[in-house]
Amino acid sequence: MSSADATTLNPSLAFKVWWQGVAVVGAWVAVALLISYWPNATRNWPMTQGLANLCVAVAALFIVLSLLGRKLPGLGLRLRNAGPWLIALPVLLGIWELATAKLALLPVPFFAPPQALLAVYLEDYPRLADSLLHSALLLGSGVALGAITGFIAGVAIGWSTRIGYWLHPVLRILGPVPSTALLPLCFFLFPSSWSASVFLIALATWFPVTVLTWSGVSSVDQAYYDVARTLGAKQGFLVFKVAIPAALPHVFVGLFMGLGASFSTLVVAEMMGVKSGIGWYLQWAQGWAAYANMYAALLIMALACSGLITGLFLVRDRLLAWQKGSMKW
C-alpha cells in the first residue's frame, strides 16, 4: 500500500497530515501579521509590507500545492516530509524580524532585517545577477578542470604503482596547503586574475577528487579482476569497465568535498582581482558598509551551493542506480 493510500484510509494519519498543513499555513500567516502590524523600532524599513505579502503568498502557495498533492502522491509525500521545515522557516523569520526591525536587539546597520534583503534583491538585482553569472562561469571552469584532472590522476595512481610512486609526494606536499595561501604566487605567475582564480579553484577541487578516486580504485575487490581476466578481459576493459565503475561512489564523495572547498576559494579569489562576482560583490558591500547587500549576497551564495550539491546528488543517484542494491546510500 502506498503512502497516499495509507493517508486516505488511516484517519489518524490523515488527521496528522491535516494538522501539519494547518500549522504551516498558520505559521506563515502569523509572521505576515507580525511584520505588517508590529511597528518598526528604529526606522521605516522599505519593503516591510512587501515581505508580509510574500509570507501570505507562501501560505497560499502551500494551500494550492496541498490540494494538488491529493491528486499527485509524490508531491503530497514531499510536502509531508518538508512539513517541519516549512514550519521552522517562518518561526526563524519571525525571530529574525523581532531581533532586528521590531525590537532592535541587534545593532543597525551591522544586522539588517529580512525586508532590507528583499529590497536589495528588487533594487540591485542587475549587479547581483551579473556577479552570480561571473561566479558561475569561474566556478564551473575551475571545478570542471579540477574534477577532470583529479579523476585522471586518481585512476592513474590507484591503478599504476609506478605513477603512484611519483605522485604520492606531490599529494602529500600540496594536499595540506590551502589553495588560498597560493594567491600571491598565482597572481604573479598567471597572465590574468581570471586564469589565476581558475587554477586555485581547480586545485581546491583536484586534491579531494584525486585522493578519493585513488582510494576507490585501490579498494576494488581483486575477485572482480580475476573474474574479468578469466573471461578474457584486456587491461583497458579492467580499467574502464571494472575499476572505474566500482570506484564511482568514492569519486562522488570527492566531488562533494571539492565543491565545498571550491566555493570558499572562489570567494577569496574574487576578492583579490576580478571585476565582478559574488566575492567581489561582498568586498564592495563591505567597503560601503552596505551590510544588507552583503547578507543578500551570502544568502545567494548559500542557496547556489546547496542547489549545486542537490544537483550532484541527483546525478549520482541516476548514474549509480545500478549499485543501489549493493551499497548504502
Pick from 309, 308, 286: nearest CA to 298: 286
Residue 172 has pLDDT above 90, yes or no: no
Confidence of residue 329 (pLDDT cuts 50, 70, 90): very low
| CA distance readout (Å), 309 to 115, 296, 304 | 28, 20, 9
Quick one: pLDDT at residue 80? 82
Q: Annotate 153-210 with DSSP letters as a single string.
A: HHHHHHH-HHHHHHHHHHHHHHTTS-GGGGHHHHHHHSSSHHHHHHHHHHHHHHHHHH
C-alpha cell at 227: 573474474
Pick from 307, 308, 311, 329: nearest CA to 320: 329
Q: Record the pTM.
A: 0.81
Pick from 249, 13, 282, 266: nearest CA to 127: 282
Pick from 160, 208, 185, 155: nearest CA to 272: 185
More confident call, 98 vs 267: 98
Pick from 173, 257, 251: nearest CA to 213: 251
| CA distance readout (Å), 288 to 109, 282, 284 | 11, 10, 6
Confidence of residue 41 (pLDDT cuts 50, 70, 90): confident
Residue 1 has pLDDT above 70, yes or no: no
Segment 90-94 long-range contacts (CB within 8 Å, at least 24 positions apart) = 90/27, 90/28, 90/30, 90/31, 90/55, 90/58, 91/27, 91/31, 93/31, 93/55, 94/30, 94/31, 94/34
Quick one: pLDDT at residue 16? 66
Question: Could you give the CA distance from residue 279 to residue 297 in angstroms, rounded to a whole number?
Answer: 9
Tell me the per-residue pLDDT of 279-299, one tens digit each, with 9 for 90 and over: 889 888 888 888 999 999 999
Q: What is the mean pLDDT of the chain?
A: 85
